[in-house]
Structure 1
Amino acid sequence: MEIGLVIHGPEVIDSGQAKKIIELLSSKGTVTSMIAGTMGKTAVIDAHMENIIDIRRSLKPSECIEKCIDTKDVIYLLNHGKKLETGIAFARMVISHVKRKDEKPIVHIESPGSSDGVVIPWNKLAHEHAKTIANELGLSIIIASEQEKEILLEKEGERVVRHLTGVQPGEKILVNGIVVGSATSFEVSIIAENGYITQIKGGTMKEHGVEKIHDYENLTPIDLKSAWVKSGRLRSDNFKARTLKTCELGTFSNKENKMQKQGICAVIVDHAAEKVFEIVPGADVAVTVGDDTTILAADILYRLGIPIIGITDGDSDGISHKTHIFPGSTILRLIPDSDDVIGRKILINLFMNKKNMNFASQDELKDMIIKQAVGAIKYIKEY
């Protein structure tokens, strides 16, 4: 039997449940495992499972399922939400985006190893598979059609309302990896008009974050229906970070390109830490713009052995876990409200509005960045 396993998030990796379930499914047939989400990919590396779980694709969970429909006999979706209702709401959203959801059995395993863990068959074909895996894992079965159907998305004309589940007051609210506000209640909704976020009900909106997500004066709209929306911390502290060896880097190192170029290849990561795995193949150093972007990107790039030059001004939203920074990195702390201004100068003047650029050396690039930031630097920290 050909089995597809779609994993979401770092929790099931860090807890060891993903490894247990892969071993269990492997006794039934050939398992192809893939993970969706940047934090999930870092967890896979930390768990030494990058040769078991595919971390090279950059697909949403629904797209992973679609990929499996053509070649797999049964598909499992593995997740661990903050609460049971959060996990169910997540799966319902994922399944709603799968165009051929009834062609192959789709079984959702939610929060295995927890007291509220369940198995959910998401179509008629999945019932027998769900019963078997539920018995083997000691979990109960919930029939999705019998669950209260929460309306998580409302659309009227060009107005979209996205309702969040499992939110706690005080948690940060992220859209596509950028903090756009903070929750003040248990019921939070994000409202967008014509692709632009205009209000957060049950929370306070962070104007600067909303500017970032719409790319400032470029006023780029977003699709709130398909956007990655999350509240709270991105990952717990239940892990030990690991740096891949050169022989383990595979496509992330892009050795062929490195042999052909002179100097170093630098990439710029500007408030897009969730796309780091897509941006960095072949890079020797990354310039990161923004406090949270620097914290998250540095932590991810530690796994790939890539140093950073971080541009920060002390306005971190505190959404990250413990951070690891690869030796050879430099972080510039600037005066308040200046990281975005200096980041744009670096993008225009040094990177020529491109995402990557070659320089003679990392030291040369660092000196050039310091010149762009002159007058705004409070201190520089070397790692």
Structure 2
Amino acid sequence: MRYGVVIHGPEVIDLGIAGKVLDQLGAMGEVEANIGGAMGVAALIDAGLEDRVTVKGRQLVSDALVDMDRRCDQVILLNSSKTPASGQALGRMVVSRVAQRLEVPLVQIDSGFYICWRPPIDPSVASLVRTMNLREAPPAKMVEMSPYRRVISGVEIGENVWMDGIVVGKATDEVVEVRLVQGELVFTGLEPKAHGLEKLSITDLSRTIIRSGSVRRTEGGEGRLQATGDRIILIDHRAEDALFRGRDIKAAVSVGDDTTRIATSLLARLGVPVIGIVDGDEDGICMDSNAAEGSIRIVLQPGNDDQLGALVRERIFRGQDEIEYQGTIGELTSKIKHLAGNKVRSLVR
């Protein structure tokens, strides 16, 4: 028997569930596991599981299920949701996308419950859910995925909602609806954040990664790798991509408060220092304060981080996203500080 395990999010790893599931399934057959998403990869490093799980970059969970379906006898979607409602909504969404393409049994194992999306359940998996004391939840009715409309359930009022790694506003309802109308995003149940929306270019909501709350609700271990290389990279949005871009680099320069917080946290796992250009408007979607040695934040007067970021891209990165750099981190920080001029309020190490 060959089991395919698709891991969604860092929480199920941080809580030790992923490791236990892999161990138990491994005792009963062959196991192949994968994960997409930077926070999940960070959790793998923290837990020391990076050698047991294949990293799939920003692959959608639905696509990962199809890949596993082609190679395995039983597929397990492994998740740890905020609430049963949000966990069931996740399962329904990802399975609805690919239901007609699945051929082997599919089970979702989640916080306190499991769902058999495509029966039957292998006896070994049935034994696994019993040992985990999980209750069976009925599979929800499939929904037709639309490129022009998405509904996000299980949201807590006041939480940040983010799309493709960018905060787009705060929830004013437990259900948030997003519609794409003539190329513009229209929300219900959300107080939009214009500064975040202007950074997005979305043409298909069915392929957009939409989440609420913090990027990582749980804490893991402190796994660390070692940074090497002579390149520096510029991160001015999509902070979660930093972990995939950060192998074999010397340092990163990040633009924006939340971008810097997330990038610094992720790159700490690789031992990569981050020079953050910030101005104090952090939304608080990342609570992790981990940072590699040498990391520093250049705090500017309000409203100046994007402008300095554009100048850094032009003057230091020569319009590129990354360059070879032979100088020290201190020299690079001094260059950026010089470009900022009298807009600098402080340096925070």
Q: Name the structure 2 match of 1:261.
A: none
String of CA shifts for 1:89-142, please: whole Å, max 9, x gaps.
11111112326543122111111xxxxx22212123447665343333222223
CA shift in 2, pair 1:231/1:360, >3 Å: same
Q: Name the structure 2 match of 1:204.
A: 191
String of CA shifts for 1:5-38, please: whole Å, max 9, x gaps.
1101111111111111111111111111112221
Give SS of 1:268's match: strand
Q: Is the 8 A contact 2:96 2:143 kept in 1?
A: no
Q: Is the 8 A contact 1:89 1:150 kept in 2?
A: no
How far 1:181 moved relative to its partner? 0.5
Q: Name the structure 2 match of 1:379.
A: 346
Identity of aligned residues (%): 33
| Alignment RMSD | 2.1
Q: Is the 8 A contact 1:107 1:120 kept in 2?
A: yes
Give SS of 2:71's match: coil
Cα distance between partner residues in 2 of 1:242 and 1:130: 30
Q: Is the 8 A contact 1:188 1:200 kept in 2?
A: yes
String of CA shifts for 1:144-201, please: whole Å, max 9, x gaps.
1xx3x4868556xxxx22111111111111111111010112222122224432x221
- State which of 305, 324, 330 in structure 2 corresponds to 1:363: 330
Cα distance between partner residues in 2 of 1:88 and 1:226: 19
Q: Name the structure 2 match of 1:228.
A: 209
Cα distance between partner residues in 2 of 1:352 and 1:169: 43
Q: Give the partner amino acid of 1:171.
A: E
Q: Is the 8 A contact 2:301 2:345 kept in 1?
A: yes
Count, aligned residues:
348
Q: Name the structure 2 match of 1:216.
A: none
Consecutive unaligned residues of structure 1, counting only runs of 5 or more, are: 112-116, 214-219, 247-252, 259-263
Matched, 1:109 2:109: yes
Cα distance between partner residues in 1 of 2:87 and 2:13: 16
- State which of 166, 170, 190 in structure 2 corresponds to 1:178: 166
CA shift in 2, pair 1:18/1:69, >3 Å: same
TM-score normalised by structure 2 residue count:
0.93
Give SS of 2:342's match: coil
String of CA shifts for 1:230-264, please: whole Å, max 9, x gaps.
111122353333322x4xxxxxx6x6xx4xxxxx3
Q: Name the structure 2 match of 1:89.
A: 89
Q: Is the 8 A contact 1:195 1:224 kept in 2?
A: no
Matched, 1:331 2:309: no
String of CA shifts for 1:290-315, please: whole Å, max 9, x gaps.
00010111011111000011000000
Q: Name the structure 1 match of 2:131.
A: 136
Q: Name the structure 2 match of 1:193.
A: 181
Q: Give the partner amino acid of 2:199.
A: K
Cα distance between partner residues in 2 of 1:293 and 1:177: 9
Structure having greater relative contact order (Cα 8 Å, sep ≥ 6): 2
Q: Is the 8 A contact 2:35 2:55 kept in 1?
A: yes
Consecutive unaligned residues of structure 2, counting only runs of 5 or more, are: none
Cα distance between partner residues in 1 of 2:125 and 2:61: 19
Q: Name the structure 1 match of 2:288.
A: 322
TM-score normalised by structure 1 residue count:
0.85
What are the within-5 Å matches in structure 2 for residues 1-383 of structure 1?
Answer: 1-55=1-55, 57-98=57-98, 101-111=101-111, 117-126=112-121, 131-144=126-139, 147=140, 149=141, 160-197=148-185, 199-213=186-200, 220-244=201-225, 246=226, 258=229, 264-361=230-327, 362-382=329-349
CA shift in 2, pair 1:380/1:284, >3 Å: same
Cα distance between partner residues in 2 of 1:355 and 1:8: 29
